[in-house]
């Protein structure tokens, strides 16, 4: 039996494909690699933050006990829907199950990758991946942080340490490092110094060429092109690294899973009538919810756009 029924116009996404899409969406994003998602209901979600440090007290016999005045504030995680619409020939509807499975595998691969990158593009840069433009109405995004280091030397190590210093001086822990591939390669390409000059010996030989760094000096690390925003962004954001508290400084979750919608009629994407073009459209959607505490992060930017 065909997976897509040309008579009833129904679509059934095989469980193994659906599970694979969800898994990949949550594993290829640098946000997802460094910051674990949490269960989140649909819609705006209020998150309470305890903003006082609780301290214990030693009390002598017959002495009075003191207390800590608790102070709470509230932030709100807002839902953001991302979608991918893919057109294909309507002959797909008449094909056998093996052919349809092959197409669905490709749709799943492309869709999961696009939706994964969308999480980073929105949460980091508030950029719409489809247009490359900034969504001006979004006011909560990570790169709004005021803590910025401008690349001032050829030593990527020094730049990272300086950025870490900006975060740590406020008492924020460092739990993650996100690197653009250019920064990862620069870090991996560093040499040890002798008399202040490179001696040809790799400083961090365990990094290889920097293509798949998962840890740097004990800090959980992820590498991805979404750090710079390219190729989706209309222009390079100039961000080459993000360091900070990925564990508690980002609160995010998937509010709705990935469905597959078969659209046989109309013009769902502004590209012309489907029937006229002998096409159908397959649409995938996901709803993320997130809130970023941007003051818990620091950026490293290129000199051209540095802070």
Residue 21 lies in a domain: yes
- Compute the Cα dihedral for 238, 248, 133, 230 and give only its sign: positive
Look at residue 2 in the predicted model and tell me its pLDDT: 47
Look at residue 107 in the predicted model and tell me its pLDDT: 76
Structural domains counted in the chain: 1
Alpha-carbon dihedral 160, 166, 171, 174, rounded to 10 degrees = -20
What is the C-alpha separation between 230 and 233, in angstroms, rounded? 5
What is the C-alpha separation between 143 and 241, in angstroms, rounded? 11
- The predicted-structure confidence for 131-150, as pLDDT tens digits, reads as follows 999 999 999 999 999 999 99
Does position 72 have pLDDT exceeding 60, yes or no?
no
Does position 289 have pLDDT exceeding 90, yes or no?
no
Estimate to the nearest angstrom the gap between the alpha carbon of 216 and the chain centroid: 19
Q: Measured at the alpha carbon of residue 16, what is the angle toward residues 10 and 19, in degrees to the nearest 5?
A: 95
Band (229; pLDDT cuts 50, 70, 90): very high
Domain that holds residue 78: 4-49+73-301
Residue 68 lies in a domain: no
Does position 176 have pLDDT exceeding 90, yes or no?
yes
Residue 56 lies in a domain: no
Does position 1 have pLDDT exceeding 70, yes or no?
no
**Cis peptide bond N-terminal to 231, omega within 30:** yes
**Average pLDDT for 287-304:** 92
Residue 306 lies in a domain: no
- The predicted-structure confidence for 9-53, as pLDDT tens digits, reads as follows 445 555 555 555 555 555 578 999 999 876 565 656 655 555 556
Residue 61 lies in a domain: no
Whether the Cβ atoms of residue 239 and residue 227 lie closer than 8 Å to each other: yes
Band (263; pLDDT cuts 50, 70, 90): confident
CATH number of the domain residue 92 falls in: 3.90.1690
**Average pLDDT for 252-276:** 80
What percent of the chain stands above pLDDT 70? 78
Residue 85 lies in a domain: yes
Look up residue 294 and give its DSSP letter. Answer: G
Look up residue 70 and give its DSSP letter. Answer: P
Residue 164 lies in a domain: yes
């Amino acid at each position: 039996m065909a997976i897509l029924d040309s008579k009833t116009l129904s679509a059934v996404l095989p469980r193994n494909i659906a599970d694979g899409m969800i898994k990949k969406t949550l594993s290829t994003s640098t946000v997802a690699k460094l910051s674990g998602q949490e269960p989140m209901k649909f819609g705006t979600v209020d998150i309470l933050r305890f903003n006082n440090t609780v301290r214990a007290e030693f009390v002598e016999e017959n002495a009075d006990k003191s207390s800590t005045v608790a102070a709470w504030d509230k932030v709100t995680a807002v839902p953001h829907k991302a979608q991918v619409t893919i057109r294909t020939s309507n002959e797909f509807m008449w094909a056998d199950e093996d052919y349809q499975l092959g197409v669905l595998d490709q749709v799943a691969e492309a869709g999961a990758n696009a939706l994964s990158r969308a999480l980073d593009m929105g949460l980091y840069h508030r950029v719409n991946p489809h247009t490359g433009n900034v969504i001006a109405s979004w006011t909560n995004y990570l790169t709004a942080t005021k803590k910025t280091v401008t690349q001032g030397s050829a030593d990527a190590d020094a730049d990272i340490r300086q950025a870490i210093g900006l975060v740590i001086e406020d008492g924020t822990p460092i739990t993650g490092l996100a690197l653009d591939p250019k920064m990862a390669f620069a870090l991996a390409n560093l040499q040890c110094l002798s008399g202040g000059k490179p001696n040809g010996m790799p400083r961090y030989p365990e990094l290889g060429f920097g293509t798949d760094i998962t840890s740097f000096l004990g800090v959980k690390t992820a590498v991805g092109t979404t750090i710079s925003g390219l190729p989706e962004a209309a222009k390079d954001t100039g961000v080459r690294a993000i360091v900070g508290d990925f564990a508690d400084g980002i609160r995010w979750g998937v509010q709705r899973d990935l469905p597959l919608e078969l659209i046989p009629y109309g013009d769902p994407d502004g590209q012309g009538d489907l029937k006229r073009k002998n096409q159908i459209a397959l649409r995938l959607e996901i709803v993320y919810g997130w809130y970023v505490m941007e003051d818990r992060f620091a950026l490293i930017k290129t000199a051209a756009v540095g802070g």
